[in-house]
């Protein structure tokens, strides 16, 4: 594409972004005079027409996109929504299925098709696609609200209610990388939980066999009232390891789903203050779908506590999770669930009850961590770790840039080089 045409496209995009829709449309039309198959211009004009309600002209651009770019899902998604707005819901479903087939990772058609299925009175299908949408877009609270509404109106009565609403079982994700924290993690939820399941994969995500290290942890805790479960690492479908952390949570849920009205998901490097957790439980009304707990965050040593709070542990309504898995259990290997998927409300437990020691490690332990954690591809973590351990702790971490204060070693955590 020539420089002049590039300039024209850039100008059109700027006009569109600043709200000058007619000017943008004229410029995109000018591009098409030179290059009739120009995808960006066709897509922009399609969406401009759709947005202003000019469906007939939108369909003209849809037809041109299908001719020149038949693999582009946006045309089918938009046509589906035109049918939806014209109350032709079955036709909307047909087009939206085509959009999904062309790009299964785009959440928009999942949401749109769920709306069409609701209008058709097919709530099972609507729920299925709402869950898929949330899996790919876990911060879409409108979809989460819709899903909770469907659950309360249609499905809730299908699940047996628990008589005591403030009880919870705990699922702990673990590996040998949690060696320094896992005992404290278990001990501080054990007496507060109706049941504790500690679950992990037999291999680390970089392929290292982890059974020896896990067995050491199991042997040390074998007389506690806790169930350890080790699963084979499933085939890698997704780039992010965070998805597989969530798969262990779903596996773990099978062991606790009839134990309590709620399930608490934590990792082996997240340690509760038992007394505070018990106090919270005693006042918990059991009237939410989900809640998350604030936690203190640490770096390098268990005495370096960040000034900032985070939130990681999630408490989830057992029957609502049964409902979600009844629709999507067979697809857990294909959908990128992470812990944000489970946050259906903005409810937070304050003050902080948990302490998160994920980055409290020796150099070798931290190098192992960054090869295996959920965000390993976000940055060059290995170089950052190497650089960090060339000097004493400066009071600021390389992960978030938090500032720190020094406190006592509350849980008597000690780091060893052996994993």
Q: Of 127, 157, 187, which marks where a domain is finished?
A: 157
Q: Of 157, 191, 207, which marks where a domain is finished?
A: 157
Q: What is the CATH number of the domain that holds 45?
A: 1.25.40.10
> Do 153 and 177 belong together in one domain?
no
Cβ atoms within 10 Å, residue 399 = 18
Structure tokens that stand for 245 in this block: 């952390």
> Do 345 and 388 belong together in one domain?
yes
Structure tokens that stand for 419 in this block: 């994993």
Q: What is the CATH number of the domain that holds 249?
A: 3.90.550
Q: Helix/strand/coil (H, E, C) string of 296-313? A: EEEECEEEEEEEEEEEEE
Instruction: Report the chain's C-alpha Rg in angstroms.
Output: 25
pLDDT at 250: 87
Write the DSSP assignment of 141-195 as a string of letters. HHHHHHHHHHIIIIIGGGSPPPS-TT-EEEEEE--GGGTTTHHHHHHHHHTTSS-
Q: Is residue 417 part of a domain?
A: no
Q: Is residue 416 part of a domain?
A: no
pLDDT at 382: 93
Q: Is residue 338 part of a domain?
A: yes
Q: Give the list of residues 6+ apart from residue 319 with CB closer than 8 angstroms, or none.
A: 156, 159, 160, 161, 162, 261
> Do 177 and 113 belong together in one domain?
no
> Do 80 and 221 belong together in one domain?
no
> Do 116 and 218 belong together in one domain?
no
Q: Is residue 220 within a helix (H) or strand (E), and if so which, with residue range?
A: helix 211-220
Q: Is residue 419 part of a domain?
A: no
DSSP state of 396: B
> Do 218 and 147 belong together in one domain?
no
Reduce the DSSP state of residue 324 to 3 states and report it: helix
Adjacent-strand bridge partners of 396: 403
Q: Is residue 11 part of a domain?
A: yes
Adjacent-strand bridge partners of 197: 171, 227
Domain that holds residue 392: 169-406
Q: Is residue 164 part of a domain?
A: no
> Do 47 and 17 belong together in one domain?
yes
CA 352, 358, 363, 364 torsion: positive or negative?
Answer: positive
Compute the half-sphere exposure of residue 199: CA atoms within 13 Å on the CB side of its CA: 23
Provide the number of structural domains found in the chain. Answer: 2
> Do 252 and 375 belong together in one domain?
yes
> Do 197 and 322 belong together in one domain?
yes
pLDDT tens string, the chain, 419 residues long: the values are: 566 888 888 998 899 899 999 999 999 999 999 999 999 999 999 999 999 999 999 999 999 999 999 999 999 999 999 999 999 999 999 999 999 999 988 999 999 999 999 999 999 999 999 998 988 888 888 999 999 999 999 999 999 999 989 999 999 999 999 999 999 999 999 999 999 999 999 998 888 899 999 999 999 999 999 999 999 988 776 667 777 788 888 899 999 999 999 999 999 999 999 999 999 999 999 989 989 999 999 999 999 999 999 988 999 999 999 998 888 755 555 555 666 777 777 777 878 999 999 999 999 999 988 888 766 667 899 999 999 999 999 999 999 999 999 999 999 999 875 54
> Do 114 and 240 belong together in one domain?
no
Structure tokens that stand for 29 in this block: 């039309």
pLDDT at 419: 44
pLDDT at 116: 98
104 within 8 A of 128, measured Cβ to Cβ: no
> Do 129 and 179 belong together in one domain?
no
pLDDT at 337: 60
Q: Is residue 413 part of a domain?
A: no
In angstroms, the Cα distances linking 66 to 1, 72, 75, 90, 96 are 21, 7, 7, 20, 14
Q: Is residue 348 part of a domain?
A: yes
> Do 92 and 199 belong together in one domain?
no
Q: Of 114, 129, 157, which marks where a domain is finished?
A: 157
């Amino acid at each position: 594409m020539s420089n002049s045409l590039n300039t024209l496209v850039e100008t059109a995009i700027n006009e569109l972004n600043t709200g000058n829709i007619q000017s943008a449309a004229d410029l995109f039309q000018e591009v098409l005079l030179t290059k009739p198959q120009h995808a960006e211009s066709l897509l922009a004009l399609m969406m401009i027409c759709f947005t202003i309600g000019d469906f007939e002209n939108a369909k003209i651009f849809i037809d041109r996109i299908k001719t020149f770019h038949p693999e582009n899902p946006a045309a089918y998604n938009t046509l589906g929504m035109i049918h939806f707005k014209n109350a032709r819901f079955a036709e909307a479903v047909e087009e939206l299925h085509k959009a999904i087939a062309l790009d299964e990772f785009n959440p928009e058609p999942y949401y749109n098709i769920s709306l069409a299925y609701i209008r058709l009175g097919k709530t099972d299908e609507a729920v299925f696609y709402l869950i898929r949408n949330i899996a790919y877009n876990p911060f879409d609270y409108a979809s989460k609200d819709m899903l909770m509404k469907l659950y309360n109106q249609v499905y809730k009565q299908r699940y047996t209610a628990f008589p005591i609403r403030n009880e919870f079982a705990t699922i702990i994700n673990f590996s040998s990388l949690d060696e320094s924290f896992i005992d404290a993690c278990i001990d501080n939820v054990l007496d507060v939980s109706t049941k504790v399941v500690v679950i992990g994969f037999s291999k680390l995500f970089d392929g290292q066999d982890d059974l020896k290290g896990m067995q050491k942890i199991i042997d040390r805790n074998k007389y506690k009232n806790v169930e350890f479960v080790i699963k084979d690492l499933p085939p890698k479908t997704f780039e992010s390891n965070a998805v597989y952390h969530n798969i262990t949570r779903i596996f773990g849920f099978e062991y606790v789903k009839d134990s309590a009205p709620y399930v608490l998901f934590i990792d082996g490097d997240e340690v509760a203050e038992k007394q505070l957790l018990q106090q919270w439980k005693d006042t918990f009304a059991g009237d939410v779908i989900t809640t998350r707990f604030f936690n203190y965050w640490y770096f390098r040593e268990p005495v370096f506590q960040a000034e900032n709070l985070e939130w990681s542990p999630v408490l989830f309504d057992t029957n609502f999770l049964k409902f979600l898995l009844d629709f999507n259990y067979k697809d857990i290997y294909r959908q990128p669930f992470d812990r944000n998927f489970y946050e259906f409300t903005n409810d937070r437990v304050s003050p902080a009850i948990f302490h998160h020691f994920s980055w409290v490690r020796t150099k070798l332990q931290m190098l192992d961590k960054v090869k295996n954690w959920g965000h390993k591809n976000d940055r060059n973590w290995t170089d950052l770790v190497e650089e960090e351990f060339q000097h004493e702790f400066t009071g600021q971490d390389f992960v978030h840039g938090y500032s720190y204060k020094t406190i006592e070693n509350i849980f008597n955590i000690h780091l060893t080089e052996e994993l």
